Amino acid sequence: MSGAVYRDTRADVDTAAIRRNLSKIRRRFPASVRLMAVVKADGYGHGAIESAEAALEAGADMLGVALLEEAVELREHGIRLPILVLAPVPPQYAELAAALDIRLTVTEADWFRQREELRRPRDGSGEREASNRRDGCVGTIGTAGGGNAAGGALPLRVHVKFDTGLGRIGLRSREEWDRLVPWLKRDDIVAEGLFTHFATAGWADTSFVRLQYERFLSMTEWASASGIRSPLLHCCGSASALRFPEMTLDMIRIGAAAYGFYPSALAPQWELEPALTLRSALIQAKRVSAGDTIGYDRAYTARGEEWIGTVPIGYADGWSQIMQGGEVLVGGRRAKVVGRIGMDQLTVRLPGPCRAGDAVVLIGSQDGESISCAEAASRAGIVPQEITASLTRRVPRNYEKERPANEDSTKEGYAWRPVHHTFRG
């Protein structure tokens, strides 16, 4: 797909809202609590580079991603903040990570053993391949901090993940920890952090979060007992950081809240702003009669004279069939999605006569009415970030140009700029 955009379906991303959300969070914690902005999954669909830039302006200390690919992409775009990949990557890519000053998550001694075997020179061809790859990457970054300018290998910085109850990744026993320690003490390894992740941070019942927190604290004592010196301790994602400031330890990892998603019933004082508006426009509006059926499988039958609108968004845009039965805004009023959501289109029952070209808002506000991502998500039984993270590259992201601070609340000076990075590959 080329960079040109011809369709009305698009996502407007307000990067200033991301910056304000993160600044607000930054300001309300002591300066000693480091802020990691989590920009995985293309910044939860808002654009990884743009989100990382907003995070930098807000004073973030580190970025978090899920994949090494995502970290490399940030480096290729000149982002120099420390980056942590929050899940293990195959050990053969450890050298690439170290060369780019990317921190990795480790959970077991075997990972280090495998890395060691991969590094042991055999006929030399493996080595050559690895260094070609590294040179290529460093060349495209061109940052002073991320490269390997002195010729000496950068140490590999790692954060050890503990499983305190989420049950996905992380070490669970003292034996596993003890096997890891000799590796963590090597000169070319820096054990920079220890962390865990909560399973129920959004629940009203806080008992399991507290249990996980206590388990984590006792596991971190293994580190002090083993002579691993003052690593960064971190356990809170958005919901837990916002709800349990007493658990923030050395760093908080903020993803959802940066984009305005937070448990507003449990932490209403935060008042974070949504950053994404999903827009489209009708491509057809028509009057139908009682008994007319709409869409695949004739799933909807008009009960009388009705106005039906067709909106050019479907599951190939990330607007899944689980959104069936939801609502969109047309002319400042709610219109119910009727019939099956298709790959490219969905149909709505309009509040009255409309025309092709009439503006549609799927997430956001229109003439005083609004549908939040949280509302649309809860109707579908998912979390709000699943909606934005699911938007595919068929939906162009448009970024509002930064306005001078004194115009922050107006729509004056609003301008589009085409953004090409969402169309790569």
Ligand X SMILES: *Cc1c(COP(=O)(O)O)cnc(C)c1O
**Annotated binding-site ranges:** 168, 343
DSSP 270: G
> In the window 97-136, what residues touch ligand X (CB under 6 A)?
none
Q: How many CB atoms lie within 10 A of CB 64?
A: 27
Q: Which residues have CB under 8 Å from 318's CB, separation 6+?
A: 45, 387, 390, 391, 392, 395
Encoded amino acid at 171, one letter: L
Which of 46, 115, 197, 340 contacts ligand X by CB under 6 A?
A: 197
Q: Which residues pair with 370 in a beta bridge?
A: 365
How far is Cα 375 from Cα 255, in angstroms, rounded to an integer?
19
- Nearer to ligand X by C-beta: 40 or 157? 40
How far is Cα 147 from Cα 169, in angstroms, rounded to an integer?
30
Which of 51, 220, 238, 388 contacts ligand X by CB under 6 A?
A: 238
Binding mask 254-293 for ligand X (x = CB under 6 A): xxxx------------------------------------
Helix, strand, or coil (residue 265): coil
Which two tokens mark 392? Answer: 């595919």
- In the annotation, is 296 catalytic? yes
Question: How far out from the chain centre does Cα 250 lie?
Answer: 21
The dihedral sign for the CA sequence 175, 179, 185, 191:
negative
> In the window 75-104, what residues touch ligand X (CB under 6 A)?
86
Stretch that binds ligand X, among 212-220, 250-258, 266-274, 311-319 (CB under 6 A): 250-258
- Nearer to ligand X by C-beta: 86 or 348? 86
Q: Rounded to 5 degrees, what are φ and ψ at 152?
A: -85, 145
In the complex, minimum distance from the CB of residue 198 to ligand X, in angstroms, rounded to a whole number = 9
- Nearer to ligand X by C-beta: 254 or 285? 254
Q: What is the dihedral of CA 408, 414, 415, 419, to 10 degrees?
A: 50
Stretch that binds ligand X, among 213-221, 225-233, 247-255, 281-289 (CB under 6 A): 247-255
Please say whether the beta carbons of 314 and 392 come within 8 A: no
Residue 253 in the binding site for ligand X (CB under 6 A): yes
Which of 45, 147, 193, 237 contacts ligand X by CB under 6 A?
A: 237
- Nearer to ligand X by C-beta: 48 or 239? 239
Which residue ranges make up the annotated binding site for substrate?
168, 343
- In the annotation, is 213 catalytic? no
- Nearer to ligand X by C-beta: 93 or 262? 262
Which two tokens mark 151? Answer: 């010729």
Binding mask 30-69 for ligand X (x = CB under 6 A): --------x-x-----------------------------
Number of residues that bind ligand X (CB under 6 A): 12
Query: Of 185, 286, 296, 336, which residue is the catalytic one?
Result: 296
Q: What is the dihedral of CA 181, 183, 187, 189, to 10 degrees?
A: -100
Kindly list the residues in this chain that would bind ligand X in the complex (CB under 6 A): 38, 40, 86, 197, 237-239, 253-257
User: Which residues are known to be catalytic?
Assistant: 40, 296
